[in-house]
Structure 1
């Protein structure tokens, strides 16, 4: 085995590893992008639910001054 063969084998091994790492990074990038979209959707839904909850709370709040007097008055 010559020095050139050893260097060529090492270079080939590095190219294989680099290709694997490139693929891994691409997969992770797609996963992060999908999670980012999902998180944005969840934040928007949370805002909508918070707004709805505020509306429900205000409609259910009991203010005795706003009620008509009882019939015996």
Structure 2
């Protein structure tokens, strides 16, 4: 019985550690997604200012 409790305690700690890692990664992904969004907006504005046309990212593909 002691061995089972020891194993359970170890597994519980491992699950808690993995949960913390996943939460940290989710925050990092959200931060990076916001940064990419801002960079895409900035580039679209730069393309529009340089050429005066709709940025390629906002144009419909030819098959529409």
TM-score for the superposition, normalised by structure 1: 0.69
Find the aligned partners of 2:2 and 2:49 in 1 and give their Cα distance: 70
The whole-number CA distance in structure 2 between the counterparts of 1:33 and 1:25 is 12
2:29 maps to 32
Corresponding residue pairs, total: 52
Q: Is the partner of 1:31 in helix, strand or coil? A: helix
Runs of 4+ with >4 A deviation: none
Could you list the runs of 5+ residues in structure 2 that have no partner in the other structure? 53-64
What CA distance in whole angstroms lies between the structure 2 residues aligned with 1:16 and 1:41? 38
- 1:1-73 to 2 correspondences below 5 Å: 4-55=1-52
RMSD: 0.6
5+ long unaligned stretches in structure 1: 56-73
Higher relative contact order (CA 8 A, sep 6+): 2
Greater Cα radius of gyration, structure 1 or 2: 1
